[in-house]
Amino acid sequence: MLFNTIDFAIFMPIVFLLYWFVFKKKIKTQNLFLLAVSYFFYACWDWHFLGLIFLSSVVDYLVGHSLAKTEQRIKRKMLLLLSLIVNLGILGFFKYYHFFIESFQEVFTLFGRNLESSTLNILLPVGISFYTFQTLSYTIDVYRKKIEPTHDVVSFFAFVSFFPQLVAGPIERASNLLPQFERKRFFDYAKSVDGLRLIILGLFKKMVIADNCALAVNEIFTYYPDYSGSTLFFGAFFFAFQIYGDFSGYSDIAIGSARLLGFDLMQNFNSPYLSRNLGEFWRRWHISLSTWFRDYVYIPLGGNKGSKGKWIRNIFIVFLVSGLWHGANWTFIIWGFIHALFFLPLILSNKNSKFKDIAENSKRLPSIKTVFQISFTFLIVTLAWVFFRSENVTQAFLYFEGMFSVSFFSFPTVSRGLVLFLIIYMIFEWLQRDKKHLLEIDFIRSKPLRIAIYYMIVFAIFYFAGDTQPFIYFQF
Amino acid sequence: MRKLLTYISLFLLPILLVWMLAEVFYRTVPNNYTYKHEQISKMEGLEVLVLGDSHTFYGVNPEWLSLKAYNLSNVSQTIYFDKLLLEKHINQLPRLKYLIVAVDYTTLSQADNTQEDIWRKYFYKAQMDLDVPLIYWYDPKSYSLAITRKFDKTWNTFKEYRNNKTLISCDSNGWGNTYLSTVDAVEMSRLAKVVAKKHEDESMDFSLNSNRVQQMIDLCNEKGIEVLIVNMPSVAEYVSLLNSNKWQKIDSVCNQIEINNKNVTRINLLNNKQFELNDFQDADHLNAEGAKKCSLIIDQILKNKND
């Protein structure tokens, strides 16, 4: 069930009404209801894979319990290892089996040996990377004694499968989300209104920004040899907005839907294209994943402790693993490598933690320096997206070859209206940069004006929506 | 909670009103689906039935056929719906002698439920009274035509109705009578590229639709009806821009169908030299003049068969 469909428009109000009117008395029944609708939500894609979520939940619940019962270091390590093997084993099998088999075959072919090809036809379960990381965070945090294991099996299962963020995040930490399942939730008017605003904003980002960009992107990336360098550049530019609108739109709808049910999910995007360097970009883009890698990969590796060489190694490992997390393709690994490479100067100059504040907070217009910094960061990110979008590495290089040709200086054959619209959108993001989201417009005192803005956005969703495209991050 | 529900209801009220108006519009204003459904239900003495997509909709004009004919084809009508329409109406057409079915570049490889035309299945169900297995009972769109299409498309359809005073774009014989002009060679060349790109689905899997064609032929065979499989004419440049291997496969499948079935005749007009550039409205659709030419060729073949 996609968020941008009539099905969800029917599903969500029914869940909301039953949740607050029928199941509100007992927290246990409310959680059981959430668990049931979450499994139903997932089953709408493919019920066959429900078993995988169930298996992950059972294993991590039992591992968490067993961890609480023992203080023996080796036993605790073995339990953690069990959870890692089961979760990453499932993820590895479904997501990376073909990738590794094909890569091995290619390596053997290089040495003149031919291996027989695999005949397994493996389908990738939707959202497997997201819920696997979420449930792993629980086991690791229990192992590290950062949280106490839950004894409430329903809460735990509902935490793993919570439908708003089940298939594409935000990847929640057990320390944030699990306690919310364990305590009574009360209806909060302001929270619900904000949730609705986020849903509208998310639909706008997905259906108007992402889906319209997708039309141009699909055309340009499919027929890239036919287009000029300047058009190819705009192809990458549009993809930057497609993936942003698509993924941040999904996150907004997820956070908004959760808010309607009384839950607070973590912010996943914070105007990433206004970042002034790559360090800031990664504090603003897919925040739940980058902090996950920070806490469970980067810091255990040693983080920035030790020599600069080790620090750089850790950065490269995190970005390469992050690339691989996105998909079983060398394009994603190279995408991660490019980000690591451009991160390097920040590490060497100790500027990776710079820009933690809001840009030019007291000013309405950005300075020339800020514009330059934002544009440069956006340019790196956009060019790196070419690898992310390309079918394979060869296509990505050919795309770049076409882009950086003489025709780069020709007039691009793209929709000027779309370019203008995206620039205007970014101006609004700049003006709202100190807010949690673009539609946080409580500062507008006139209620009719606020309502008019909501109607304008709803109208745009209905009238300017592009052809429906699947959410990009579902494939991860 | 009450406050929130009240505000949501008030906010949604205008949206619901627009939805209701759109629903009334789709349910009350006659269009090609409702019109063709009404017409075919009255055609008792019909001898020739034409099925297919826009190529036959604009390209075969029953007026130029000697036998009593009706064109039940429609824009983007796939073999899937051709088969459902044939199954629905064949028993009500006791005098039917010939069935004309178009097989073009996308006909055999066409997937069901493609994004662009996914909305049409709901119109076939609601307005042509077809039992469409692709639609599940729990699909909300099967209960409201207004939500099957995006609002901008509905608005454009409304504007079309306001300008033309009708949504029906065919005559009483079912022929699409709105393609009356042509374009120059330069524009035709541009259109050929655009349309070729659009039609390239990169699928060579014909099994599903070949099977459907065979089922239609078998059904006709049971009723003593002859089937004419027609490859409709197209502009040469458009044809050359598409995958030649696929064209060859289409050619061979059509030949094989003709060889395997006694009641089938194949008419290959794809590269027919009688058609000139000014017979086309665009790269793959005949205009009224071209339709006349095409219909007369088919008529001659039917006459020869009758003799």
Q: Which of A259, A316, A269 is nearest to A291 (CA)?
A: A269
The number of helices, as runs of H, and strands, as runs of E, in chain A is: 20, 0
Give the tens place of pLDDT for each residue, A24-70.
Answer: 888 999 999 999 999 999 998 878 888 889 999 999 999 999 998 88
Please say whether the beta carbons of B102 and B51 come within 8 A. yes
Q: What is the mean pLDDT of residues A176-186?
A: 92
Question: What whole-number distance in Å separates Cα of residue B231 and Cα of residue B267?
Answer: 6
Question: Would the CB atoms of B140 and A193 count as touching at under 8 Å?
Answer: no
Question: In angstroms, rounded to a whole number, what is the distance separating the alpha carbons of residues B95 and A316?
Answer: 76
Identify the pLDDT of residue A193: 94
Question: What residues are paired with B267 via a beta bridge?
Answer: B230
Taking alpha carbons only, the member of A285, A289, A347 closest to residue A318 is A289
The Cα A213–Cα A415 span in angstroms is: 10
Residue A60 lies in a domain: yes
Position A383 confidence tier, pLDDT thresholds 50, 70, 90: very high
Residues, chain B: 307
**B48 by DSSP, 3-state: which?**
strand
A326 is catalytic: yes
The verdict on A363 and A249 lying in the same domain is: yes
A125 and A21 share one domain: yes
Q: Are residues A203 and A110 in the same domain?
A: no
Domain shared by A84 and A141, yes or no:
yes
One domain, residues A164 and A95: yes
Residues A181 and A194 in one domain: no
Give the angle subtended at the CA of A288 by the CAs of A431 and A103, to the nearest 5°. 120
Residues A217 and A86 in one domain: no
CB contacts < 8 A (A, B): 31
Q: Which residue has the tokens 């169908």?
A: B257
Query: What is the band of A217 on the pLDDT scale with cuts at 50, 70, 90?
Result: very high
Q: Could you tell me if residue A428 is left (phi over 0), alpha (psi between -120 and 50 degrees) or otherwise beta? A: alpha
Q: What is residue B102's three-state secondary structure?
A: strand
Interatomic CA distance for residues B201 and B110, integer angstroms: 8
Distances (CA, A) of A429 to A209, A364, A434: 13, 12, 9
pLDDT on residue A110? 66
The rounded distance, in Å, linking the Cα atoms of A353 and A304 is 12
Q: Which two tokens stand for residue B283?
A: 């790269």
CA–CA separation, A280 vs A269, rounded Å? 12
Q: Are residues A152 and A212 in the same domain?
A: no
- Cβ separation A6–B15 shorter than 8 A: no
Q: A120, A154, A185 — which closes off a domain? A: A185
pLDDT tens track for A330-369: 899 999 999 999 988 888 887 777 777 777 777 778 889 8
Q: Is residue A312 part of a domain?
A: no
* Residue A90 is assigned to a structural domain of this protein: yes
Neighbours of A240 (CB within 10 A): 25
In this prediction, the residues of chain B whose per-residue pLDDT falls under 70 are none
> Do the Cβ atoms of B4 and A192 come within 8 Å?
yes
What's the CA gap between B239 and B234, in Å, rounded? 7
Residue A342 domain-assigned? Answer: no
Arithmetic mean of pLDDT, A96-105 = 71
Calculate how close chain B gets to A421, using CA atoms only, in Å.
18
Last residue of some domain: A185, A200, A220?
Answer: A185
Domain count, chain A: 2
Task: Please report whether residue A436 resides in a domain.
Answer: yes
Domain boundary among A185, A205, A232: A185
pLDDT computed for residue A461 by the predictor: 93
Is A35 in the same domain as A55? yes
Residue A295 in domain: no
A interface with B, Cβ–Cβ < 8 A, is: 6-7, 10, 20, 187, 189, 192-193, 196, 223, 451, 454-455, 458, 462-465, 467-468
pLDDT digits (tens, 9 = 90+) for A277-316: 999 999 999 999 999 999 999 999 988 888 888 888 999 9
Contact B1 A20 (CB under 8 A): yes
With CB atoms and an 8 Å threshold, state whether A463 touches B151: yes
Query: What is the arithmetic mean of pLDDT over A159-174?
Result: 89
Distance separating alpha carbons of residues B4 and A474, to the nearest angstrom? 32
Cα A41 to Cα A36, A246, A439, distances in angstroms:
9, 20, 27
For A197-206, the pLDDT digits (tens) are: 999 999 999 9
Partners of A7 on chain B (C-beta within 8 Å) are 140
Block residue for tokens 């099998």: A93
Residue A318 belongs to some domain of the structure: no
| pLDDT (average), residues A370-381 | 94
Among candidate residues A48, A65, A98, A326, the one labeled active-site is A326
ipTM above 0.85, yes or no: no
Instruction: Please list the residues that pair with B71 across neighbouring strands.
Output: B50
Taking 80 as the threshold, does the pLDDT of residue A409 lie above it? yes
Residues A125 and A146 both lie in one domain: yes
Residue whose C-alpha is closest to residue B29's, from B158, B170, B126: B158
Give percent of chain A with pLDDT exceeding 90: 61
> Which of A10, A18, A226, A463 to probe the B interface (max B CBs under 10 A)?
A463
Residues A152 and A113 placed together within one structural domain of the fold:
yes
Domains and CATH numbers, chain B: 2-110+117-306 (3.40.50.1110)
* Single-letter residue type at B22: A
Q: Mark whether A168 and A37 lie in a shared domain.
A: yes
pLDDT band at residue A469 under the 50/70/90 scheme? confident
Domain containing A180: what range? 6-185
A462 to chain B, minimum CA–CA distance in Å? 5
> Does A344 reside within a domain?
no
A49 touches A42 (CB < 8 A): yes
Give how far A463 is from chain B: nearest CA, Å.
5
Q: What is the mean pLDDT of chain A?
A: 89
Q: In sequence order, what are the residues at sequence separation of 6 or more whose Cβ sits closer than 8 angstroms to the Cβ of residue A32? A: A23, A154, A158
Q: At what angle do helices A229-260 and A368-389 cross, to 10 degrees?
A: 90
**Would the pLDDT of A112 be above 70?**
no
**Partner-chain residue, chosen from A189, A196, A458, that has the shortest CB–CB distance to B15:** A458
Closest CA to A158 of A142, A135, A137: A135
- Please answer yes or no on whether A187 and B8 come within 8 Å at the CB atom: no
- pLDDT band of residue A476 (cuts 50, 70, 90) is low
